[in-house]
Amino acid sequence: MFNIFEELDENKFSWDSIGDVINGRKNLGEEMPIFVYRLFQFTIKDELAKRYGNETTVDIFRNAGKLSGIEFANHMLDLDLEFDEFVAQLQQIFEDVKIGILRIEKFNMETGQATLTIGEDLDCSGLPITGETVCNYDEGFLAGILQVYTKKDYIVTEVDCWATGSRVCRFEAKVQS
């Protein structure tokens, strides 16, 4: 476990930082309402934006999402599966843990370019339309998963979001050059 008050030059987070949730929440269990997660996420995002600006805040959320995606992939996914089986596994886990309904619209095996959608996305489904994409954490999360599976560094950008009027989040993924 790491001390959140020490200055960090490198990532101190690891999968073990999550702790033993099942043992620690014997009565309440692992699940909580989405509004509690969003209260946490959006109030932190608001405070960071006030202190550091929107660009830095978005960068922080993407980087945090990427670290999370890397840890998620390394601990929750069978990385030895062939691509189609890997995608099926990833889709099932996204639904099981209620992240959302993942679909791969296209994936170019040669270039690594991909278009992915998440329906009923944990971060934004049901939000008011603001005209801005808000799923920066998801961008990093998907980039981290893709990086671990393909062993290539990815940049993932949300192009459609519930907050822009779409009913799914659509992400464009590209291998970083």
pLDDT value of residue 88:
98
**Helix residue spans in the chain (DSSP H):** 21-24, 34-52, 54-76, 83-96, 136-150
Q: Is the separation of the CB atoms in 110 and 139 below 8 Å? A: no
**Domain 31-175 belongs in CATH node 3.40.50.970:** no
Report d(CA 26, CA 28) in Å as an integer: 6
173 C-beta neighbours (distance < 10 Å), count: 22
pLDDT value of residue 11:
79
pLDDT at residue 4 greater than cutoff 90: no
What is the phi/psi pair of residue 160, to 5°? -135, 145
Say if strands 101-107 and 154-160 run parallel, antiparallel, or are unpaired: unpaired
Report d(CA 64, CA 136) in Å as an integer: 9
- Convert the pLDDT of each residue in 33-77 to its tens digit: 999 999 999 999 999 999 999 999 999 999 999 999 999 999 999
Average pLDDT, the chain: 94
Domain range annotation of the chain: 31-175
pLDDT value of residue 5:
46
pLDDT value of residue 171:
98
pLDDT value of residue 7:
56
Q: Is the separation of the CB atoms in 2 and 12 below 8 Å? A: yes
pLDDT value of residue 131:
95
- Convert the pLDDT of each residue in 103-136 to its tens digit: 999 999 999 999 999 999 999 999 999 999 999 9
